[in-house]
Amino acid sequence: MSQRTTCPPWCNTAHSSVDVEHESIQHVLETPRGDVALQLLQQPGAPVRMLAATLRPGTSEHGDADLALDDAEALARAILAQVAAARA
């Protein structure tokens, strides 16, 4: 019997057991100056976290941040505030 029904609704991993990391689809913003990818991850019994990765075009250089959901929300609010300030 599959335990798939206990995956969180955002999980997009084709696993038959839930005793592995849950992974969402990657949301990728592609830009000429580099791509930014966001993905939800959750180890069994651990809080959900968001991985934010940046990729430089034409290279294998990248950076990433492994964020708690509160941190991801704070980052999103900071981005909106900075964009609003830049457009004022």
Q: Which residues bind Zn ion (CB under 5 A)?
A: 7, 11, 13, 22
> What's the min distance (Å) between Cβ of 11 and Zn ion?
3
Pick between residue 43 and residue 82 the one whose CB is nearest to Zn ion: 43
Pick between residue 11 and residue 50 the one whose CB is nearest to Zn ion: 11
> What's the min distance (Å) between Cβ of 13 and Zn ion?
5
> What's the min distance (Å) between Cβ of 42 and Zn ion?
8
Pick between residue 42 and residue 72 the one whose CB is nearest to Zn ion: 42
As a whole number of angstroms, the distance between CA 27 and CA 13 comes to 15
